[in-house]
Each structure stands twice: as C-alpha cells, then as structure tokens.
Amino acid sequence: MLKIIIMVLFIIPMCLMQNIYWMVQSVMFFISFIFIMMNMYTNYFMSISYLFGCDLISYGLILLSLWIISLMLMASESVYKLNNYSSLFLLNIVLLLLLLILTFSSISLFMFYLFFESSLIPTLFLILGWGYQPERLQAGMYLLFYTLLVSLPMLIGIFYLYKITGTMNFYLLNNYMFNFEILYFSLVMAFLVKMPMFLVHLWLPKAHVEAPVSGSMILAGVMLKLGGYGLLRVFSFIQLMGLKFNWIWVSISLVGGVLVSLICLRQTDLKALIAYSSVAHMGIVLAGLMTLSYMGICGSYTLMIAHGLCSSGLFCLANISYERLGSRSLLINKGMLNFMPSMALWWFLLSSANMAAPPTLNLLGEITLLNSIVSWSWVTMLMLSFLSFFSAAYTLYLFAYSQHGKLFSGTYSFSGGLVREYLLLFLHWFPLNLLILKSDMCILWL
C-alpha cells in the first residue's frame, strides 16, 4: 500500500509548478493502472504494514477513488483554462486523494476515523473555493455540522472499544461480539449521516448544488461510500446489536427512498435531481447492508461501486450543459437533442444505467439487494416496488425533459461537444458495463 501512497505524495510538489495540469492528470491515470495491476482479490488483508493493508472492499473503493479523481481533473478544465487558482485546486485534489486512499487502506479503526474525518476538509475547500453561488457557505456549514455532530460519539465509542479489547485492528476486533446499545448507536450513526440515510440527508443536495463539478463528482463518487465502507467494517463485531436494531434503519431507508424519489419528480435543477436520486440509491444500499445477509452485503458493495461511476457521470453531463447554457434549470436545458445531438446518446446511456438497465453493474447490485431485502422480510416488497418504479420515473423525467421539447429561445447555436468530454463520459460508462463481466469479484468475495 505504501508505494501507492508515496506516489501520490510525490505529486504534491508537481502541483505547484506552472502549466502542469494535464501532466498531473496523466500521472493520476498512470497510478490507477498500476493499482489495477496490483489486484487484491482476497477476502483477507494483503500487503500489510503496521497501519495499512488492503482487502477486496478497500481495493474496489481505492480504485474507484483513483479513477474518479483522475476524471475530476479531466472534467474541471475550466479551472485551468480560466486560471482559477489551478495550482491550489490541484493541490487540494491531490490531498483529498491521499486522505481517501489512507481512509480505505487503514487497518486500525482509529486511523480510519482520523482520515475519514480529515477527508471532509479538502471537500469543504472545494465547495467554498470553487463553488458557484454565494449559498456555498451555508452548504459548507451543513456538510461540516451534520458530519461533526455524530462523529464525536463515534470517537468515544472507539476509545471505549480500545479500553475493553486493547486493540483497534479490524481483524483482531472480529473475534469479539459486543452487546452494548450505546456503543452500537455511537458507531453506526456517524456512518448513517455520511451515507446519507433519509432524515439526515439534508447536507447532501445542498452540497451538490453548490459544489463545482469536481466537488460533485467526488461527493457522489467516493464520499458517500465512506459511510457504507465503515458499516461493512464495524458490523463484524456489533452483529448482535444489529440483529436487534437494524429494522429501524431498513424501514427509514426504504420509506425515505420512496419519499426522496417523489421529491426528485418535482426538481427543476439538474444537479439537485441527480443529488436526490443519489439519496434514494444509497437508501437501498443501506437497507441491503443492514439485513446482514451474505447477499445484502455483497449487493451493497456492488451498488456502491456502480453508483459511484454512474452518478459521477451524470454530474459531468449536467456540467457540460451548464458550461454551454450558463444554467442548470430544466426550464432552460430542454430540447438538447437539437442543441447537442451527440450528447443525447450519453444522456441516454447514463440515465439507463441510473435506473439499472442491463448490462450495467447497477442491475447486478439492485437484483442482489432486492433479493436480500425481500428475503429479510416480505413486507418490504411494497416499498421496494414503489422505489423501483419511481426510480425509473424520475430518470425518464430527467432524460425526457432535458433532451426533448422545444429548444429554449435564448439558445441559438449548435454545439458538438469536445473530445475531452466524450472521453470523460466514456471512461465513466465503460467500466460500469465492463465490470459486470467480472462480477464474481463483487459478489463472491465473502
């Protein structure tokens, strides 16, 4: 693990040089490919040192982080072109990548907590420094306070664990089974806010709408996965409590998913719509994970990876329209089929991925999750059927309203789109459909 971390550390001085934006981006891709070659397909921790190690869950999520961050730099060309503090922007993004890799590869629960909270800071700077509207200050405050409010109890819970067991290593804590209610709530709540679960999700749409495209991509692509990853790690030693209380989170997530889907149907802002759809998708991930069944855990991992690529791609598309028209409103972004005909294909491909059409990885994740949730309790069928239906409904609404209809009279030209943008969208969509051929890695890992 250390070799990847050292490579990222050595990019930091590069960021401060002149005209090196694309070089940094190429190096990021290079690191991603090196990491693919290091494939760690085991359920056990590999390449272990004192603090870091990597098993399959970490591997998938670190790879996702590297990939999304490489694509973020590709998407944020305007920062470089307008020279909007591009060196600082690069530095911020490299630090964020470093913190994410450290988070996912920590073996110790405390180190995980430390980096988990630190990754908030570069994200905050991204939103405050490169956001669009003046409300970004409020969005930053939401992000900070929602997360920090529940993270202190978690810290106390971790110290309590250390007091009892004398260790914080994930693979040593697996030998224990705790039966303390307060410990369970203190450990789980921090991750539920990060997921985000319905009722504590308000920071997410706010942060997405105010963030620049790179901020939205990293938020949807990786930051939401931190919560799921944390839950996958801590449930190994709080299962007993999980059997007692998990029905609460499952029911909130499923009912919340349906309500959020209804909220999606009345959004006029492209980004807000995609952000709320993220909440609905992560709701089903959370419900599956909380069943603690084999299928639920594998399905939640699969859908987390799939959602990271798919959601990030949709934010890129929204940004491409925004850069051309100067607005993200669906009242202005309509009839895009006439304005950018070749983009309509990408809108179609990524929208169909968002509603889990075959052969995307989303489909695999959703089928496994549906199986696990229904086998946990058949009462959930009602909400799940609504969830699936509305998920298709708002995605079709997004696609139909933005691509069809009469072109807004203020737009009077034709735009082909740049090669960079097509490559960017292809690199989101291609792994999403390619990974289903290697789905045993996502499903058969426990």
Structural domain boundaries of the chain? 1-443
**Distance between CA atoms of residues 73 and 49, nearest Å:** 31
Which of 353, 359, 384 has its CA nearest to residue 370? 384
The torsion angles phi and psi of 238, rounded to 5 degrees, stand at -125, 30
- The DSSP bridge partners found for residue 106 are 52
Which of 420, 430, 401 has its CA nearest to residue 320? 420
**Contact by Cβ (8 Å): 196, 282:** yes
In this prediction, residue 442 carries a pLDDT of 84
This model's pTM is above 0.75:
yes
DSSP 46: B
Handedness of CA 142, 148, 153, 155 (dihedral sign): positive
**Distance between CA atoms of residues 349 and 390, nearest Å:** 18
**Contact by Cβ (8 Å): 404, 325:** no
Given the structure tokens 């990222």, which residue do they identify? 8
Per-residue pLDDT tens, the chain, 446 aa: give them: 889 999 999 999 999 898 899 999 999 999 999 999 988 778 888 888 889 999 999 999 999 999 999 999 999 999 999 988 999 999 999 999 999 999 999 999 999 999 999 999 999 999 999 998 889 999 999 999 999 999 999 999 999 999 999 999 998 998 999 999 999 999 999 999 999 999 999 999 999 999 999 999 999 999 999 999 999 999 999 999 999 999 999 999 999 999 999 999 999 999 999 999 999 999 999 999 999 999 999 999 999 999 999 999 999 999 999 998 899 999 999 989 988 999 999 999 999 999 999 999 999 999 999 999 999 999 999 999 999 999 999 999 999 999 999 888 887 787 888 999 999 999 999 999 999 998 888 887 77
In this prediction, residue 440 carries a pLDDT of 87
**Contact by Cβ (8 Å): 151, 190:** yes
Which of 192, 184, 378, 390 has its CA nearest to residue 283? 192
**Distance between CA atoms of residues 104 and 308, nearest Å:** 15
Residue 378 class from Cβ within 10 Å (0-12 exposed, 13-18 middle, 19+ buried)? exposed
* DSSP structure string for 234-300: HTTT-HHHHHHHHHHHHHHHHHHHHHHHHHHTT--BHHHHHHHHHHHHHHHHHHHHHTT-HHHHHHH
The torsion angles phi and psi of 83, rounded to 5 degrees, stand at 50, 50
* Residues 6 or more apart whose Cβ sits within 8 Å of residue 109: 158, 161, 168, 169, 170, 173, 233, 234
In this prediction, residue 249 carries a pLDDT of 96
**Contact by Cβ (8 Å): 316, 270:** no
Cβ atoms within 10 Å of 441's Cβ, excluding its own: 16
In this prediction, residue 18 carries a pLDDT of 87
* Residues 6 or more apart whose Cβ sits within 8 Å of residue 369: 284, 285, 287, 288, 295, 296, 299, 300, 303
**Distance between CA atoms of residues 327 and 410, nearest Å:** 11
Per residue in 133-163, pLDDT tens?
Answer: 889 999 999 999 999 999 999 999 999 999 9
